[in-house]
Amino acid sequence: MTQSFILAINPGSTSTKIALFKEEELLLKESIDHSSEELAAFQRIIDQQPLRFRVIMNFLRKNDFQLSQLAAVVGRGGLLTPMASGTYLVNDEMIDYLKQNRLEHASNLGALIAADIAAEAGVQAFIVDPVVVDEMDDLARVTGRPEIRRISIFHALNHKAAAREAARKIGKAYEECRFIVAHLGGGISIGAHKEGRVVDVNNALNGDGPFAPERAGSLPAWGLLEWAFNEKLGLPELKKKLAGNGGLVAHLGTSDLRLVEAQHLKGEAGPSFIYQAMAYNVAKQIASLAAVLEGRIDALVFTGGIAFDRTFLDLVSARVAFLAPIIVIPGEDEMKALANGALRVIKGEENAKKWTFNGGQQ
């Protein structure tokens, strides 16, 4: 079989990440930064589409790569409606929805740019496991107020990639496994993976679960209400304090866990206490999901950038190692996860799903 070249695209708020794969082999990779002055010319993030398209095409030309060689283009999925995990074909309905989406996020550009390049190359465009993947059990959605339901927003792309790698390590299919996966990064999401589905997970963006380097996580409702009322915080300001200026940033003025780890190891009391408290919160969230999986767990999987921090992992592991063996898959190779999602479809190992506004996917 002719080997397949796959172009992966991951637009960030101030950068565009590009990677070219030959099957699973990484051939080229680059992260192109966009200055604040460059981006200031655009009123909406979606208006940056032509700029991002040009820099990717320049990258390919610079490396003497012909679009005719591509088998597929895959982009980071955006803020679509809730959907099942998988690889999705970028269709006209998805493109129209993302262009009109009032939820501004750079990931919305992923499918649009992928579609543009795929059209030039005469191949299909895909997205893989966007943050709105929703496989939660209905019981997990219920709160103490019927007006408020728990929703699924998490690091689905890395969760799924790490879980598949963990399954490979123990010699089982992902669909046969029960894992608790902890993505530890600027945001922290911890999910119960039950036989191929994430049946419960904290909303890592909107104030749920452990506090993280930049996010406040779950807060006592009464205290949150009184604080917002007493400080006369408007909704946009309050949201920023919870996601972006919460967690370590609020306590210590930094989101750099490496700095806080160094302070902890030096015995600086304040930073050390908060560092340990974050590990305590992560461990507590992991242990709570043991009940969701009824105590039958193949492994605890630690992934994300903080999984490189052995000191932090040791603090967490000391509290949860009794639950199951621990597998550490540090970092988050999102580009490889995107390419592998497209490759599974090309090889016929998985059928591409079709996203629809009403149905999420078909």
Does the residue 144 lie in any domain?
no
168 and 113, same domain (yes or no): no
Helix (H, G, I), strand (E, B) or coil at 73: strand
Q: What is the mean pLDDT of residues 33-49?
A: 86
Does the residue 287 lie in any domain?
yes
Q: Give 103's pLDDT tier (boundaries 50, 70, 90).
A: confident
Please tell me the total count of domains within the chain.
2
232 and 293, same domain (yes or no): yes
Of the two residues 199 and 244, the one the predictor is more confident about is 199
From CA 201, how far away is CA 168, in angstroms rounded? 22
117 and 166, same domain (yes or no): no
The percent of the chain in helix, strand and coil, each rounded to the nearest 5, is 40, 20, 35
pLDDT value at residue 55:
93
Does the residue 148 lie in any domain?
no
Does the residue 339 lie in any domain?
yes
pLDDT value at residue 360:
53
278 and 341, same domain (yes or no): no
Domain range for 19 is 5-134+335-354
| Beta strand residue intervals within 25-69, DSSP E | 25-33
Q: What is the mean pLDDT of residues 14-31?
A: 92
173 and 270, same domain (yes or no): yes
85 and 175, same domain (yes or no): no
Spatial CA neighbour of 193 closest among 215, 171, 176: 176
- Per residue in 157-169, pLDDT (tens digit) is 999 999 999 999 9
56 and 172, same domain (yes or no): no
168 and 258, same domain (yes or no): yes
Does the residue 71 lie in any domain?
yes
81 and 170, same domain (yes or no): no
Q: Quick one: CA dihedral 74, 76, 82, 83, positive or negative? A: positive
213 and 291, same domain (yes or no): yes
Residue 318, amino acid: A
Spatial CA neighbour of 108 closest among 127, 89, 85: 127
Does the residue 150 lie in any domain?
no
Does the residue 139 lie in any domain?
no
99 and 189, same domain (yes or no): no
Q: What is the mean pLDDT of residues 104-113?
A: 88
Q: Give 362's pLDDT tier (boundaries 50, 70, 90).
A: very low
Mean of per-residue pLDDT scores for the chain: 93
Does the residue 20 lie in any domain?
yes
Instruction: Look up the CATH number of the domain holding residue 246.
Output: 3.30.420.40
187 and 130, same domain (yes or no): no
